[in-house]
Amino acid sequence: MAEQTTTYPKTPANTVNRYKHQATYDAERIHTIINTTPVLHVSFIPDPSDPMPTILPMIGQMGLYPGDSSTGDSAQKCYLHGYVSSRLMNLAYTPTGLALCIAATKVDGFVLSLTPNTHNYNYRSAVLQGHASIVDDDAEKLWAMELITNAVVPGRYAHTRVPPDGAEMQSTRILKMRISSASGKVREGCPEDERKDLKRENVLDSVWTGVVPVYERLGEPVAGPYNRVPGVPAHVSEFVSGENEKRERYASDAARKAAPLKRPKKNED
């Protein structure tokens, strides 16, 4: 029986060794990074005799299927949708499942400081490791399809032609990963330079330092050639305007915060 902890355990596999103060093991924070990143990068080893990994871009969401929680399993899983090749299928059908690593990274700003070495990004990243299997149960598959569709645009599933028919159910493959290890890393704040450069008047007088905020922006929706619905429905237009406001504010706020190393340290080991 797997229990959802509020923090993931620190193990040799996930412990962040550099800039520890930027690391997080908080489950909610890690899940939010995964859930708000439109493309997850999913790595696995196609051929166990060849130590060369591959990466597939996939769409994914954290979720707890009611059928799992009813058995007392309260651990959120990562559900993935994308092209599942027959090779990947066969690998995922082994008893232990397929070993996967999933990464999500959001760039929030370019941090331009006095020297190339102190340049940085404001960003949020999360890495999960675990084992994945194909979802066979139709009820769970339908639940995951709705979860993943609504992750792209909230409420979208109910505004489409559903339920999927037999052929669509057949052709859709959902991977479900049980998480064995997870960590996140967040950098926000203004530039920070070393004391040796902060004492150089000529450097301070000539190098502009600051942050260029970066965020994913959603443009004006463009109706397709066979669209017959007039205007843009509220579930799309409200999502676009709400997200744009939220994302711009996050990046802009992150650019204005104090530098991470100068903040009071909490929970640092």
Piece in contact with a second copy (CB under 8 A), picked from 27-35, 61-69, 70-78, 246-254: 246-254
Piece in contact with a second copy (CB under 8 A), picked from 24-32, 66-74, 132-140, 212-220: 212-220
Identify the residue among 1, 6, 51, 266 touching a second copy (CB under 8 A): 51
How near is the Cβ of 195 to a second copy at its closest, in Å? 11
Choice between 152 and 261, CB closer to a second copy: 152
131 has which bridge partners? 99, 178
Distance (Å) of CA 129 to CA 11, 21, 41 = 12, 22, 12
Identify the residue among 6, 95, 226, 266 touching a second copy (CB under 8 A): 226
Is 192 within 8 Å of 259 (Cβ atoms)?
yes
Q: Is 183 helix (H, G, I), strand (E, B) or coil?
A: strand
How near is the Cβ of 240 to a second copy at its closest, in Å? 6
Six-digit token pair at 191? 């530039």
How near is the Cβ of 265 to a second copy at its closest, in Å? 19
User: Per CB under 8 A, does 2 bind a second copy?
Assistant: no
Is 157 within 8 Å of 149 (Cβ atoms)?
yes
How near is the Cβ of 206 to a second copy at its closest, in Å? 7
User: Per CB under 8 A, does 54 bind a second copy?
Assistant: yes
Choice between 76 and 120, CB closer to a second copy: 120
Identify the residue among 28, 212, 246, 265 touching a second copy (CB under 8 A): 212
Identify the residue among 2, 45, 75, 134 touching a second copy (CB under 8 A): 45
User: Per CB under 8 A, does 178 bind a second copy?
Assistant: no
User: Per CB under 8 A, does 117 bind a second copy?
Assistant: yes
Among residues 185, 85, 178, 64, the alpha carbon closest in space to that of 125 is found at: 185
User: Per CB under 8 A, does 74 bind a second copy?
Assistant: no
Q: What is the DSSP code (8-state) at residue 49?
A: T
Identify the residue among 26, 32, 68, 221 touching a second copy (CB under 8 A): 221
Per-residue x/- marks for a second copy, 143-172, CB under 8 A? --xx--x--xx--xx-xxxx-x---x--xx
User: Per CB under 8 A, does 33 bind a second copy?
Assistant: no
Identify the residue among 62, 80, 92, 102 touching a second copy (CB under 8 A): 102
Token pair 């926000």: residue = 188
User: Per CB under 8 A, does 240 bind a second copy?
Assistant: yes
Q: Report the distance separating Cα 161 and Cα 147, nearest Å.
A: 16
Residue 23 φ then ψ, to 5°: -85, 150
Beta carbons within 10 angstroms of residue 33's beta carbon = 22
Q: Report the distance separating Cα 239 and Cα 119, nearest Å.
A: 33
Q: Is 166 helix (H, G, I), strand (E, B) or coil?
A: helix
Identify the residue among 20, 200, 263, 265 touching a second copy (CB under 8 A): 200
150-154: Cβ within 8 A, 24+ apart: 151/35, 151/59, 151/61, 152/38, 152/59, 153/235, 153/236, 153/239, 154/235, 154/239
